[in-house]
Amino acid sequence: MPIQTIPLPNIETKESYTYPPFYLVRILSLATFLVCFQGFMVAPLLPHLSVIFHVSVRHTSFIEPSYLLGYGSVTLIYASVSDRFGRFPVIIFSLCCFIALTLCTSFVHSADQMILLRLLTGLGAGGIAPTTIGWIGDQFPYQKRGHALGIFFGSMAGGTAFGSCAGALLEPVTGWKGLFILVAALGFVILILILFYQKHYRLQNEDARTNYTDLFRTIKDIMSIPRNCRTYLYVMFNGMFHSGVFTWLGYLFYKSFHLGETGVGLALLGYGIPGFLLGPIIGKMADRYGRNKIIPIGLLFGGLSAVLLGLNLPLLASNLLVATLSLGFDMTHPLFAAITTTFSAKRGASTGLFAFFLFMGYGLGSLVFSLIVKSGLNQTFILFGAAALLAALLSVWAFRNEK
């Protein structure tokens, strides 16, 4: 029998319901911030790395999808492990792998070696984001989950933007190897901080234990429901759209406005500002007014931003469009995540699927963009934007019943 949507607690009538303080979410989200920071700090450096490694920009562009596809391909495995052994051990293990492999990346001597190390880093770190989402789903009622997930995805968007900015601004000072060493050091600091609060996470991450047979049965049941399939398809598409556009956004500014690394870094900084500042507010709005109203608007913002970026508007307008592109992400992905936490009582499976489709979308998006960019950079931006506009129109029907 298909799994039914799990009952949503009504905090209006259950005043005794308690949930963790939001500062614990912020601390745990720092790890995901760093994952995205490291994941996209290479994006503005693609032209520079192509010179260092004596390969084409198109060759170095595969550094991005190798990391993201590696990350996405193992999320379901980590999800089942977190259901069986708890969220906290999985987060710590993945964070340790992330630190060690990021440090190793600083010793590579070719683009192919970097692609390989980035793939391994994604495989090792793949448990951080889905397990954090699962922990949030365990601990927060649906009416407060938007706020908590807004913090989480605000950190994700902030990591993406600040990573790109820092990559461009710091590389002339530290060198690209120094960037990876710096990220590994920051990861160690975050690890110590999470371990300091471990008793809070350990006490609140108990979940129903499962085995691998149960996991696959649960996944089959989840995917047998049309509502769930529609949501996951949107998660993957939106990941493809934002990853493909953002991976090449730095090169667009480099090519269209002849900006140096510093200029590109500052231009990309706008991508994370809306989520970093407004993520929790957008989450509260979704909790209050309904996700069915905000998701189509977010897709519309993203699609329009990509189309207009492809039209070579003046620099100031393009900088503003980077921020609206980010706002489109912040108005969609946290809301998708909240919806998926209602698919099953075994949230490790439902959030694992969310992370799987999200990061596979991330990897496929940057890969597809790299494969079709030969037809023209601006034309590819417009094509991606047009697809997002179509998705926005269809989403009015797809999410009409979501609250």
**Per-residue pLDDT reduced to its tens digit, 24-40:** 888 889 998 998 888 77
Determine the average pLDDT of the residues in 395-403: 89
DSSP 208: -
- Say how many C-beta atoms besides its own lie within 10 A of residue 320's C-beta: 15
- 36, 128 contact by CB (below 8 A): no
Position 265 scores a pLDDT of 74
Res. 207: pLDDT tops 60: no
Answer positive or negative: Cα dihedral of 102, 273, 165, 325.
positive
Radius of gyration of the chain (CA): 20
Between CA 194 and CA 188 the distance in angstroms is: 10
Lowest mean pLDDT among 76-85, 267-276, 369-378: 267-276
Contact 45, 168 (CB under 8 A): yes
d(CA 138, CA 204) in angstroms, rounded, equals 8
Whether 131 contacts 152, CB under 8 Å = no
**Model confidence over 101-132: pLDDT tens digits?**
999 999 998 999 999 999 999 999 988 988 88
Region for 206 from its dihedrals, namely left if φ exceeds 0, alpha if ψ lies in -120 to 50, beta otherwise: beta
7 pLDDT band, cuts 50/70/90, is: very low
- How far apart CA 359 and CA 223 sit, in angstroms, is 18
pLDDT for 347 equals 66
Between CA 30 and CA 170 the distance in angstroms is 20
pLDDT of residue 202: 64
- 78 against 211, higher pLDDT: 78
Q: Which two tokens stand for residue 291?
A: 């996700």
Count how many Cα atoms sit within 13 Å of the Cα of residue 177 in the half-sphere of its side chain: 7
Taking Cα atoms as reference points, which of 101, 168, 96 lies closest to residue 127? Answer: 96
Domains of the chain, earliest start first: 22-202+212-398 (1.20.1250.20)
- Can you give the pLDDT at residue 3? 39
pLDDT attached to residue 200: 73
Does the pLDDT at position 10 exceed 50?
no
Residue 83's pLDDT band, with cuts at 50, 70 and 90, is confident
The whole-number pLDDT of residue 230 equals 93
Amino acid 374: pLDDT: 82
CA 397 to chain centre: 25
Please, what is the average pLDDT of the chain?
Answer: 82
Q: What is the pLDDT of residue 221?
A: 87
Contacts of 220 (CB under 8 A, 6+ apart): none
Contact 130, 355 (CB under 8 A): yes
Q: Which of the given ranges, 188-192, 222-226, 244-248, has the highest pLDDT on average?
A: 188-192
What does pTM read for this prediction?
Answer: 0.73
